[in-house]
C-alpha cells in the first residue's frame, strides 16, 4: 500500500530490529567521583535519615535527591510551557511521515505531548470533507516525551494499530536513539553501557538504584525495575564527527553494573559533550538519570544537576532530542526508520 511522506525523508531498511541485543557480561563496577547535594526528599531517599528498620526493608537510592534550585525553576518552566503549548499549532507540512495508520511528528522543546496530539487531531479533522460521513477519529499517542525533550512522537489512527505499537514499545522491540548535550569532564570511553535499577517511592523523585535491587519493593508499593542505556561519544567542545546511529557493540570491559554510588570529580575542567543514547528499557527520565550517574549532566536539566547557566547564557529547558525510531510497521510489516531534524543546539555543538 502506498505511503505518503510530507516534508521529511523516511526510509525502509531490512535491518535487525533490536540494536541493543544483550550478551552475558561479567560485573564491571566503574566508580565516578561524586559530590552529592544534601537536600532531603519527601520520602526515604536521604540515607542519613534512614532508620535501621527502613534499611532492612527498602533499597537505598544511589543518585541524589532533587537540587533545591530545581523546584522554582521547574515551576517557572511548567508555566511557560503551558502558555507555549496553548499557542502551538502544526500542519501536514510539519509531519515527518504519514500513512493511513500512523503519523510521525517532531515535537518542539517546551511543548506538552498532549498539545501536539490535539493539534494533529485538529489538522486531520479539518481535512475531512464536511459532505462525507466519516467515522470518528481513533487517534492515540503511541509514545510520550518529557516536556522539554524534543523529537519524534508517534500518533496512531486506530485502536488496533495503537495496541500493536504500545506492545512494541513495552516489549522493547522499537529501537530508539537520542542526542544529548552534556556538561562535565570528558569521558574516558567512546562507547559504554550502563545497567541499574530505577524507581521512586510514593511522592518521590525518580532515582537510580543498584542493579541487584531490581524487583525489591519501595515505599508506596512500587518496585525497583531494570534500566539499561548505551552511550556513544560524538563530540567534545565541537571536535568530533556526528555519526549516524550505529549498533552498540557489547564489550564486557565497558559495561557498568551499578551497585554503589558514583564518585564524580567536580573540580575538574568542564566541557561540552555531545552523546548519542540508546535506551534498551523505557523508564521515565532514564537517559537523564544515567547521564547524571556518569557525571555528564544534560545542559539545562536542573532536576538532575544540569547547569541552567553556562558561559553567560541561561537555558530554559534540558537539551535532549529524540533523534530516531526504528520498528516494524504494525500493519504492513515493513521496517520503518524515522529521523527527526536535529535542533540548533546539537548542530551548533557539532560545528562550533
Whether 71 maps to a domain, the answer reads yes
Whether 33 maps to a domain, the answer reads no
Whether 313 maps to a domain, the answer reads yes
pLDDT of residue 252: 58
Q: Give 238's pLDDT tier (boundaries 50, 70, 90).
A: confident
CA distance 161 to 103: 11
Q: Three-state SS for 38?
A: coil
Segment 119-160, tens digit of pLDDT: 999 999 887 766 555 667 899 999 999 999 999 999 999 999
Q: Give 13's pLDDT tier (boundaries 50, 70, 90).
A: very low
Paired residues of 328 in beta bridges: 335
pLDDT of residue 250: 59
User: Known catalytic residues?
Assistant: 146
CA distance 182 to 101: 36
- Alpha-carbon separation of residue 167 from 41, 106, 164, 328 (angstroms): 34, 22, 5, 12
Instruction: Evaluate if residue 104 carries a pLDDT over 90.
Output: yes
8 A C-beta contact, residue 72 and residue 44: no
Instruction: Evaluate if residue 269 carries a pLDDT over 90.
Output: no
pTM of this structure:
0.81
Nine-digit cell string for 336: 520503518
Instruction: Evaluate if residue 345 carries a pLDDT over 60.
Output: yes
Instruction: Evaluate if residue 347 carries a pLDDT over 50.
Output: yes
8 A C-beta contact, residue 347 and residue 340: no
The 10 Å CB-count burial string (b at 16+, else e) for 236-262 is: eeeeeeeeebeebebeeebbbbbbebb
pLDDT of residue 334: 95
Q: Give 111's pLDDT tier (boundaries 50, 70, 90).
A: very high
Whether 254 maps to a domain, the answer reads yes
Q: Give 273's pLDDT tier (boundaries 50, 70, 90).
A: very high
Whether 31 maps to a domain, the answer reads no
Give percent of the chain with pLDDT exceeding 90.
66
What is the span of the domain harbouring residue 163? Answer: 63-126+136-349
pLDDT of residue 265: 76
Whether 26 maps to a domain, the answer reads no
Total domain count, the chain: 1
Instruction: Evaluate if residue 268 carries a pLDDT over 80.
Output: no
Whether 21 maps to a domain, the answer reads no
pLDDT of residue 48: 46
| Cα atoms in the 13 Å half-sphere on the side-chain side of 221 | 0
pLDDT of residue 249: 61
Average pLDDT rounded to a whole number, residues 275-301: 96
pLDDT of residue 22: 35
Pairing state between β 320-328 and 175-184: antiparallel
Of the ranges 43-57, 60-74, 86-100, 210-224, which one carries the lowest mean pLDDT score? 43-57
pLDDT of residue 134: 61
CATH classification at residue 143: 3.30.2350.10
pLDDT of residue 327: 95
CA distance 69 to 37: 11
8 A C-beta contact, residue 49 and residue 219: no
Average pLDDT rounded to a whole number, residues 99-108: 95
Segment 33-76, tens digit of pLDDT: 333 333 334 444 444 454 444 555 899 999 999 999 999 999 99
Whether 36 maps to a domain, the answer reads no
- Alpha-carbon separation of residue 318 from 178, 272, 286, 307, 321 (angstroms): 13, 14, 14, 9, 9
Amino acid at each position: 500500500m502506498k505511503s505518503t511522506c510530507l516534508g521529511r525523508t523516511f526510509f525502509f531498511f531490512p535491518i535487525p530490529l533490536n540494536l541493543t541485543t544483550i550478551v552475558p557480561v561479567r560485573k564491571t563496577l566503574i566508580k565516578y567521583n561524586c559530590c552529592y547535594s544534601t537536600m532531603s526528599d519527601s520520602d526515604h531517599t536521604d540515607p542519613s535519615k534512614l532508620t535501621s528498620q527502613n534499611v532492612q526493608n527498602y533499597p537505598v537510592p544511589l543518585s541524589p535527591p532533587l537540587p533545591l534550585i530545581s523546584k522554582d525553576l521547574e515551576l517557572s518552566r511548567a508555566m511557560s510551557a503551558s502558555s507555549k503549548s496553548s499557542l502551538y499549532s502544526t500542519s501536514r507540512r510539519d509531519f515527518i511521515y504519514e500513512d493511513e495508520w500512523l503519523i510521525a511528528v517532531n515535537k518542539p522543546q517546551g511543548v506538552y505531548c498532549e498539545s501536539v496530539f490535539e493539534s494533529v487531531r485538529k489538522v486531520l479533522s479539518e481535512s475531512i470533507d464536511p459532505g462525507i460521513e466519516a467515522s470518528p477519529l481513533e487517534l492515540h499517542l503511541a509514545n510520550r516525551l518529557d516536556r522539554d525533550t524534543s523529537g519524534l512522537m508517534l500518533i496512531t489512527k486506530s485502536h488496533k494499530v495503537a495496541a500493536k505499537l504500545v506492545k512494541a514499545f513495552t516489549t522493547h522491540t522499537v529501537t530508539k536513539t537520542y542526542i544529548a548535550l552534556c556538561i562535565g569532564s570528558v569521558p574516558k570511553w567512546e562507547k559504554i553501557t550502563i545497567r541499574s535499577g530505577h524507581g521512586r517511592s510514593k511522592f518521590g523523585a525518580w532515582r537510580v538504584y543498584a542493579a541487584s535491587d531490581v524487583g525489591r519493593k519501595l515505599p508506596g508499593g512500587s518496585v525497583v525495575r531494570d534500566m539499561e542505556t548505551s552511550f556513544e561519544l560524538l563530540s567534545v567542545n565541537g571536535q568530533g564527527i556526528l555519526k549516524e546511529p550505529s549498533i552498540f557493540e557489547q564489550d564486557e570491559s565497558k559495561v557498568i553494573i551499578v551497585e554503589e554510588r558514583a564518585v564524580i570529580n567536580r573540580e575538574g575542567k568542564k566541557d561540552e559533550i555531545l552523546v548519542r543514547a540508546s535506551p534498551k528499557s523505557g523508564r521515565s527520565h532514564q537517559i537523564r538519570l544515567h547521564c547524571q550517574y556518569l557525571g555528564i549532566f544534560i545542559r539545562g536539566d536542573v532536576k538532575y544537576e544540569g547547569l541552567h547557566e553556562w558561559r553567560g547564557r541561561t537555558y530554559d529547558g534540558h537539551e535532549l532530542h529524540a533523534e530516531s525510531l526504528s520498528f516494524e510497521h504494525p500493519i504492513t510489516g515493513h521496517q520503518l526508520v524515522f529521523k527527526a531534524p536535529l535542533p540548533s543546539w546539537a548542530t551548533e555543538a557539532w560545528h562550533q
